[in-house]
Structure 1
């Protein structure tokens, strides 16, 4: 149980109350002080000073000072009058004092919350003020920069205008100097009729003598390098074209040798080229069997000519012998090497015929592949494009 301090002293005026509480040798740091407008407690175990004031005091203008040996309390009265006693008459009632302590604690708690809210408001106001001040400073800095830029622009424009004015003045001075340095030309004298006639005769003579002599006619002979193939010559294709021409020449020699060996038959009937032309005539007449016979006999004489296989494949296609058509087109393409521009039409024709045969046989993948090769050789052919699209649709729907 704490020991109550009763050896304190106090005095008053109409406005203030002065209380001295002895600390009994305790350091100020070990003293606990709690005050409200009507309640005071000073505690340093085991001693305790506690009082419920007679009347209310102004908390904000009251103070407690802890010095060596004594705690000095100065209270400012809420009303200007003399109390004549420090304690409330009910201070000796323990229950009543317990309730006063509770009320004092609640009062202190509410005041602390109020102070905290006030501090928060003040802090927000201070932050808002600082932000406004910063924004104002930034705005002033921005305006200062804009002003400086405008000043630099104005100075630059003024310098340019001054330079232009100086250049204009210098130009006028130079023009004036040039005008002054020019020698005035004499006014032209009007010629008489005789002088004009004489001058025109002199001019015509000088013109006739100044003209160069007429160029003599001549003839320039131009010779061209002979070329067998109908397509333009390209250096990158010379080796392939020579290989192709060599194959054609070899085929022609083979046909001539075979015709010379067979003396019982007419020379023309043993010529593969004559038989090919004969087969073409049968084909044009719609006699596909006779055309096949002519092409077959020519192939037996010379199997190196790709046109024989390609033409016979066309006949097989009309007769719906699609497998034979595919075989002959393959044989023709194997002989149309190397692939050059001169045989591009023949290669395209062989691919188209084989594609048609593959389509009839139901092999749409091979047909599409042949149509694509033919389109590379003849990209502007709209019929080839439509045929390829038709086969591609069949493949996608399968």
Structure 2
């Protein structure tokens, strides 16, 4: 239930009524005004001020200002006359209710009208903005079209000028060629004319079978054919795979190794029944090897073993697959499997040629490491020494080999 405000004040002139309503500490943004020609309401919860005006006012020119805790409402009168009372003196509730409802209905209609006007204004602004944008886009398109036309005309003019220059050049070359032919003909006619005239010096001239003129003690030069057109012939040489000196060459072994590598990649087991459902890359051993290498690098040793297993089932003659799987088994402590894979890799890495020296060294180290972890140091030392022969400048390999020697020496002497 709102609290009715009664401590308001009002003054008037012959044309305007001024009403001051105390806001009692209410903020300005919480004050709600409603004004029609016969009704005035100021609502700021929990307070309510309403006045049923005794005379009509101009609601379109009515204003309200809030400041210093007071709301001042200015109501222009419809007729210039002094009022005896601000509000009607009747206590008829039905009449007041009717006035209030009429004022609210009129206020709602005014709000709807303002909303429609605002929407129409926004629509008009959007339409204007759209038309302006379309106009700007049209101007931009016209500008681009004009630029294209200018470029086309410029290109056409340049092409016409180039064609004209080409024609002039061709005509000039044709004239020079014709003049050259005439000069040659004139040179050929000169000895014949001298023969017919007997020569100015009385020398006897005769023509041989080739048409060359011969004078006494003198020969006229024969007309030589034009020189042949020059051209370049590209010659390519296939480089040798193994860069070794001729006296140290091991060509038969190298060719055998290359042949074995080619056969290993051709001889696949892609017709195995359970492998037919694999995708195309899943049947490519190189792709599977790369996948296994990536799994190994990321620490997924089981995933790497699975990739190498499938690659070996497809192509079992590729040494790198067995050697890399041996490295995975070393990480997983499957030492016997590591020895088996490394041995298989070394068997496939034959004949021993410089091209597979690095692979043989890696396989030997992996097998030797597995032997040493099984405390079979003598076998491990043999593999490390074989790897050291292939890579004698590897400092880490030298240190590991010396460590194994020391362990064997301590075991032999029984000292610690």
Structure whose alpha-carbon radius of gyration is higher: 1
Q: Give TM-score scaled by structure 1 length.
A: 0.42
Give TM-score, length-normalised by structure 2.
0.40
Query: In proportion to residue count, which structure has more helix?
Result: 1
